[in-house]
Amino acid sequence: MTSPCCPPDALPALKFDYKPKGEHFELPGVASRSSSCKLYVVGASPSDDTWKDRGPVLVMSSDIFGPFSGMHCKLADEFASRTGGIALLPDPFEGTGGLVPRYGEEEDKPNRLGFNIFTWNLVTGFLWNAKSFIQRYPWDGNLQYLCKDQLIPYLQSKGVEKFAMMGFCFGSWMILKACNDDAIAEHVTCGIHFHPASELMEKNHFGGDDVGLCRTCKGPQLIHATKNESANWKPDGAAHKALEENENVQEVQFTLARNTQSHGFMTRVDTNIEDNRSAIKEGVDCAMGFLEKYNTKSS
């Protein structure tokens, strides 16, 4: 079962066994956004006085299933290792963990009806909560303040002024919105988008203009789409053309994942299959080339 911010035939949530290499910590709420923000960081420690000389910083934004689901932490670890810098993975969902909160051993056990508890929670969560869940996290009045008043001040306290942003599905929409906000965009070296859900999020859920966001965003943008995105969000589609016509976007790379891969593959595909592992490597390599070009400094 896929989420209402994903296209038909997108991959469902993935339960992925992995021991992250970084640390979890929490940012307190602020006047504009009272909810605290849980974060995962690798490549540095929250206890460090400064991150200024620790290499480039990458802020990653998860899909709707949450930053502690699927392969998000594994990808953060890989990008931190390959860039020689820091990867930061915030939870924008006010401590809920997303549609699929962090897994525990209890969720492997059957419930009274004989269902695996993880599967039961996932199905019932979608049936009753998915659409209303998305509506709780608009950009205006919520996520913009997470970026502007929680994340950026924290990074500045560590000596970091510049960072790249990378998003998956729902997270891609967050990045596109961030790159349309001058107070945030001035800190963003580039935006990287995997299987973007900007059309479904901006147009279908919040009544906005997703292609219009491409006309007004700032900074270099890389989009790695899949066969499941609409024609507007494939190479040479309306979003691609709008980005190319935008004089504030210094470079656009708009690529399409191999045809065997579906929306969500970077964080939710079965890695026991060689073709899937190879497709993820292609995505990571593509992003690394962009990061090496635009995200070389943190200050």
First to last CA, the chain: 42
Compute the half-sphere exposure of residue 275: CA atoms within 13 Å on the CB side of its CA. 6
C-alpha distances in angstroms, 60 versus 73, 89, 194? 10, 5, 11
Tell me what pLDDT residue 104 has: 41
Q: Could you read off the pLDDT of 262-295 as tens digits, one per residue?
A: 999 999 999 999 999 999 999 999 999 999 999 8
Please give the domain boundaries of the chain with CATH numbers for all domains: 23-294 (3.40.50.1820)
Q: Is the pLDDT of residue 101 over 90?
A: no
What does DSSP assign to residue 140? I
Give residue 108's pLDDT. 42
Q: Round to whole Å and give the CA distance between 10 and 169.
A: 10
Range 182-187 contact pairs with CB under 8 angstroms and sequence separation of 24 or more: 182/218, 183/148, 184/144, 184/147, 184/148, 184/152, 185/217, 185/218, 185/219, 187/152, 187/155, 187/161, 187/162, 187/163
pLDDT category of residue 94 using cuts at 50, 70 and 90: confident
Q: Is the pTM of this model over 0.85?
A: yes
User: Rounded CA gap, 5 and 167, in Å?
Assistant: 14
Q: Please give the pLDDT value at position 64.
A: 87
Higher pLDDT among residues 42 and 123, named by residue = 42
Tokens of 122: 């996932």
Q: Give 93 or 249, the one with higher predicted confidence.
A: 249
* 156 in Cβ contact with 166 (< 8 Å): no
Range of weakest confidence among 14-28, 89-103, 234-248 = 89-103
pLDDT digits (tens, 9 = 90+) for 61-71: 999 888 888 89
pLDDT at 18: 86
CA 139, CA 148: separation in Å to the nearest integer? Answer: 11
Rounded to the nearest integer, the mean pLDDT of the chain is 87
Q: Region 158-174: what's the mean pLDDT?
A: 97
pLDDT band for position 9 (50/70/90)? confident
Q: How many CB atoms lie within 10 A of CB 49?
A: 8
Examine the pLDDT at 171 and tell me if it is beyond 70: yes
Return the pLDDT at 176. Answer: 98
Q: Report the pLDDT averaged over residues 34-60.
A: 94
What are 42-50's contacts with CB under 8 Å, separation 24+? 42/73, 42/76, 42/77, 42/80, 42/86, 42/87, 43/80, 43/81, 43/85, 43/86, 43/87, 44/86, 44/158, 48/158, 50/158, 50/159
Q: Is 235 a residue whose pLDDT tops 90?
A: yes
Q: In the prediction, which pLDDT does 99 show?
A: 57
